[in-house]
């Protein structure tokens, strides 16, 4: 019996609930062993599809309104919210938990739902902790009269960790190696006072008792160079050291390709194939080649590093790669998914050396349609390692690059031609192109942060993007018909969020054009006297709102080049759901693609490696050895790891921006209001890509209040208004480097003095 069949069986029982003993008797007669049943129930509970509300008692989550399992998000003031694993009928948003007790932020918990209000707000209480999120905690070591403690760096972890005597210095007293930082000599707890450490939690908080731990790493003092990266890595529990067995296996891999490895592979070494990446890239997953066929169609070759040839299922390297899920990129370093020997050597498509690839060979007509496609294992020898900047200059007519790469100029111009055709095809079908700028941290020659700018994006970026999208779609469509697979999905937007965006966009005179939207906010308007919703609200809440990617696409086009583009594009993005990995193909809304997957980055993403294995099995006409359940678990794990990496990258960038701005307190900047709230105005500095708050009580010359319906801050006497999109001048008053928050005040223009006549 599969997990799906077991879940369906429980869902069909009265109240969709069953006890373990009952299931053992009933299903044992059908040949299901007790041990197999235990494992299946554990898997379904871990995935949140079953809820074990009492020991040995299970309920189908899809039919359960009394209990919810999910991740705990704590506020530093003590209350929290349960982010449920799945939607619960009648509940809008997360479940409010007034008291978290012995749980810690990030723990996976089971809660009993105590109350659901008419508007969809729900309250609950924690019944038990299903899985601890923090086996280690990073923080500042403090010596007090009451003992030794570590204060967690994450303020949402409210429990101080007590460090008993004898457990405050690691056995080896080893210090994390960092460039430019000497090892600290630590002889006792006094030497550690104020130092950043990583602790292993030995006893979790329970019945009013403190958490207890031991120091396992000494990271350095708060201001030391590189300590911020070390803190973020440990705070987000990013695996960052390869185990000895992984390093040993990687070092045994041959750096030269043997004749046996070339058997059965297509030889592409005679083609002028190139890689195109950023200036600082050190590993190269993909290489491309374009030609014009006699028919007038285009031949597009996308060659991807054949990582699956070197990383075998179940091997130490594979297990570590799955644990990491993705490479994590910080401004001044990276935490790779694969060891150096693979990621920057034998798997990387370096120039002028032979490399093994898995290739997508596409024939594309003048409308961008794929006429034919072929997938094969191959070998290439990249002729050049190109950068986005160089290719951009070459295509813009710069004489230097055109002379330097004269034999490739025609090839690059053909690439631009084809990428334009592919882009126009995507536009026709409704693909959304959010061209939002990304922050780029700049460093000086000593490694200190020198500034924040917007990351450039040019025709070369778009060229590679179009080719990778085409290859990913082609592979996805091939595998969809071959059996279970992993898809990259992007589901339809939540109607409530669409309505919230419409309210904000209306202030600027824009709309998605999705039909009649209530003027007042969803959940607070058009109610009957008994509090129930009108039919219009129910239809919108249940997804009756008719919206397609074309609505978004048209609005993005209207916003291009307008002053409000940055703000509304950001709000548009927030109205969309997060893309994720899944074994169920729900399509990709933003790309307007019926089928999509990730194939083109196996050096830095584990799902791509899995897709390579599935495609390799199809090429060999053999089973992939991965069941639907296996792939489901991999997809879930990879989605979580992707979010973890994104959170860590975002946090470090915000931290570095705050540290940089500490030196600029008192300076005046041009800014744009990006949000108005009851707390005040959130502004973004025009030139520095830095955000901060102007508190409402610091607005000059009047008493201001926030008007929720208009989303504006308005003066009581003057009626002066502040709203999204207004341009202002601000002074940086304060930087809270711990919480990475900036506080500004409004700078009023000087009034001209009256001249005496």
pLDDT digits (tens, 9 = 90+) for 392-414: 999 999 999 999 999 999 999 99
Q: Give domain status of residue 588, yes or no.
A: no
CA proximity to 498, closest of 545, 460, 458, 564: 545
- The range of the structural domain enclosing residue 524 comes to 492-576
Q: What number of H helices and E strands is found in the chain?
A: 20, 34
Residues 139/199, Cβ–Cβ less than 8 Å: yes
Q: Give domain status of residue 462, yes or no.
A: yes
Q: What is the mean pLDDT of residues 147-171?
A: 87
Q: What is the mean pLDDT of residues 440-467?
A: 82
Q: How far apart are CA 497 and CA 540, in angstroms?
A: 11
Same-domain check for residues 480 and 500: no
Chain-centroid distance, C-alpha 327: 12
Last residue of a domain, one of 208, 233, 258: 233
Return the sign of the alpha-carbon dihedral for residues 290, 294, 295, 296.
positive
Q: Give domain status of residue 656, yes or no.
A: no
* pLDDT at residue 208, as a whole number: 64
Band the pLDDT of 752: cuts 50, 70, 90. Answer: low
Same-domain check for residues 708 and 572: no
Angle at which helices 316-324 and 628-661 cross, to 10°: 60
* pLDDT at residue 187, as a whole number: 58
Tallying the residues shown for the chain, one arrives at 757
Q: Phi and psi for 726 in degrees, rounded to 5?
A: -70, 145
Q: Give domain status of residue 586, yes or no.
A: no
**Helices in 242-315 by DSSP H: which ranges?**
244-252, 259-262, 307-310
Lowest mean pLDDT among 145-149, 187-191, 567-571: 187-191
Same-domain check for residues 331 and 454: yes
What share of the chain in percent tops pLDDT 90? 52
Same-domain check for residues 290 and 383: yes
Please tell me the total count of domains within the chain. Answer: 6
Q: What is the mean pLDDT of residues 128-148?
A: 90
Q: Give domain status of residue 411, yes or no.
A: yes
Same-domain check for residues 143 and 187: yes
Q: Give domain status of residue 583, yes or no.
A: no
Q: Indicate the helix (H) or strand (E) that contains 413.
A: helix 409-429
Q: How far apart are CA 190 and CA 125, in angstroms?
A: 41
Same-domain check for residues 301 and 445: yes
Lowest mean pLDDT among 186-190, 249-253, 692-696, 749-753: 749-753
Same-domain check for residues 497 and 613: no
At 343 the three-state DSSP class reads helix
Instruction: From residue 196, give the alpha-carbon distance in Å to each of 140, 164, 222.
Output: 5, 17, 6
Same-domain check for residues 497 and 637: no
Q: Phi and psi for 78 in degrees, rounded to 5?
A: 115, -30
Any bridge partners for residue 215, and if so which?
199
Sequence-separated (6 or more) residues with CB below 8 Å from residue 135: 200, 201, 237
Q: Indicate the helix (H) or strand (E) that contains 474.
A: helix 459-480
Q: pLDDT digit string (tens) for 212-271? A: 999 999 999 988 888 999 999 999 999 999 999 999 999 999 889 999 999 999 999 999
Residues 34/24, Cβ–Cβ less than 8 Å: yes
Q: Give domain status of residue 753, yes or no.
A: no
CATH for 92: 2.40.50.140
Q: Give domain status of residue 294, yes or no.
A: yes
* pLDDT at residue 271, as a whole number: 97
Is the pTM here over 0.95, yes or no?
no
CATH for 176: 2.40.50.700
Residues 679/698, Cβ–Cβ less than 8 Å: no
Write the DSSP symbol of residue 72.
E
* pLDDT at residue 522, as a whole number: 31
Same-domain check for residues 350 and 462: yes
Band the pLDDT of 446: cuts 50, 70, 90. Answer: confident
Token pair recorded at residue 383: 């002729």
Last residue of a domain, one of 115, 131, 147: 131
Residues 95/109, Cβ–Cβ less than 8 Å: no
CA proximity to 110, closest of 97, 91, 121: 97
Q: How far apart are CA 680 and CA 693, in angstroms?
A: 7
Q: pLDDT digit string (tens) for 619-656? A: 999 999 999 889 999 999 999 999 999 999 999 988 88
Same-domain check for residues 393 and 272: yes
Last residue of a domain, one of 131, 162, 182: 131
Same-domain check for residues 390 and 468: yes
Asked if pLDDT for residue 718 goes beyond 80, the answer is yes
Instruction: From residue 721, give the alpha-carbon distance in Å to each of 711, 712, 751.
Output: 10, 6, 19
Q: What is the mean pLDDT of residues 664-691?
A: 90
Same-domain check for residues 474 and 498: no
């Amino acid at each position: 019996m599969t997990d799906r069949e077991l879940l369906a069986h429980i869902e069909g029982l009265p109240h969709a609930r069953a006890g373990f003993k009952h299931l053992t008797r009933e299903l044992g007669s059908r040949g299901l062993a007790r041990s197999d049943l235990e494992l299946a129930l554990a898997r379904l509970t871990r995935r949140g599809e079953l809820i074990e509300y009492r020991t040995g008692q299970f309920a189908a989550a899809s039919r359960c309104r009394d209990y919810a399992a999910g991740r705990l998000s704590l506020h530093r003031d003590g209350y929290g919210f349960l982010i449920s694993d799945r939607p619960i009928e009648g509940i809008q948003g997360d479940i409010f938990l007034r008291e978290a007790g012995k749980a810690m932020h990030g723990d996976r918990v089971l809660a009993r739902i105590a109350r659901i209000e008419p508007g969809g707000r729900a309250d609950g209480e924690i019944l038990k902790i299903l899985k601890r999120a923090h086996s280690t905690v990073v923080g500042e070591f403090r010596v007090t009269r009451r003992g030794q403690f570590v204060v967690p760096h994450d303020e949402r972890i409210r429990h101080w960790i007590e460090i008993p005597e004898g457990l405050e210095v690691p056995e080896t007293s080893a210090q994390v190696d960092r460039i430019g930082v000497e090892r600290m000599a630590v002889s006792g707890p006094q030497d550690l006072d104020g130092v950043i450490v990583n602790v292993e939690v030995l006893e979790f908080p329970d019945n009013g008792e403190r958490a207890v731990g031991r120091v396992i790493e000494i990271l350095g003092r708060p201001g030391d160079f590189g300590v911020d990266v070390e803190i973020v890595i440990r705070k987000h529990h990013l695996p960052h050291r390869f185990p000895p067995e992984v390093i040993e296996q990687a070092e045994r891999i041959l750096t030269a390709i043997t004749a046996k490895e070339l058997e059965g592979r297509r030889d592409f070494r005679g083609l002028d194939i190139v890689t195109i990446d950023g200036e600082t890239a050190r590993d190269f997953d993909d290489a491309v080649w374009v030609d014009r066929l006699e028919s007038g169609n285009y031949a597009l070759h996308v060659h991807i590093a054949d990582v699956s040839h070197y990383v075998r299922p179940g091997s130490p390297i594979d297990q570590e790669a799955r644990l990491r899920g993705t490479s994590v990129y910080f401004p001044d370093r990276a935490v790779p998914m694969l060891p150096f020997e693979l990621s920057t050597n034998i798997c990387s498509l370096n120039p002028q050396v032979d490399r093994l690839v898995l290739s997508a060979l596409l024939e594309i007509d003048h409308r961008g349609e794929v006429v034919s496609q072929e997938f094969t294992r191959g070998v290439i020898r990249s002729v050049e390692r190109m950068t986005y900047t160089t290719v951009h200059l070459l295509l813009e007519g710069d004489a230097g690059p055109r002379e330097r790469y004269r034999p490739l100029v025609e090839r690059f111009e053909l690439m631009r031609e084809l990428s334009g055709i592919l882009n126009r095809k995507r536009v026709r079908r409704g693909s959304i192109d959010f061209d939002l700028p990304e922050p780029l941290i700049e460093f000086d020659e000593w490694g200190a942060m020198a500034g924040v700018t917007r990351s450039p994006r040019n025709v070369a970026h778009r060229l590679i993007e179009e080719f990778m999208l085409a290859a990913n779609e082609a592979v996805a469509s091939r595998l969809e018909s071959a059996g279970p697979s992993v898809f990259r999905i992007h589901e339809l937007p939540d109607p409530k969020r669409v309505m919230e965006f419409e309210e904000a966009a209306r202030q600027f005179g824009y709309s998605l054009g999705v039909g009649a939207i209530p003027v007042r906010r969803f959940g607070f308007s058009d109610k009957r006297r008994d509090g129930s919703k009108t039919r219009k609200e129910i239809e919108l809440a249940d997804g009756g709102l008719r919206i397609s990617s074309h609505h978004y696409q048209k609005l993005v086009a209207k916003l291009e080049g307008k002053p409000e583009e940055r703000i509304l594009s950001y709000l548009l993005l927030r109205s969309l759901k997060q893309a994720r990995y899944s074994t169920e193909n729900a399509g990709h809304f933003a790309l307007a693609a019926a089928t999509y997957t990730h194939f083109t980055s196996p050096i830095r993403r584990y799902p791509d490696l899995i897709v390579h294995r599935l495609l390799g099995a199809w090429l060999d006409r053999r089973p992939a050895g991965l069941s639907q359940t296996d792939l489901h678990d991999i997809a879930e794990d990879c989605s979580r790891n992707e979010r973890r990496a994104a959170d860590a990258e975002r946090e470090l960038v915000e931290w570095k921006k705050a540290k940089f701005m500490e030196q600029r307190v008192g300076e005046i900047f041009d800014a744009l209001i990006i949000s108005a709230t009851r707390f005040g105005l959130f502004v973004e500095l025009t030139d520095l890509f830095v955000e901060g708050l102007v508190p409402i009580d610091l607005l000059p010359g009047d008493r201001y209040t926030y008007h929720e319906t208009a989303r504006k801050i308005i003066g009581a006497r003057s009626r002066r208004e502040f709203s999204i999109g207004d341009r202002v001048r601000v002074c940086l008053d304060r930087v809270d480097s711990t919480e990475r928050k900036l506080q500004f005040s409004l700078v009023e223009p000087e009034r001209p003095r009256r001249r005496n006549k």
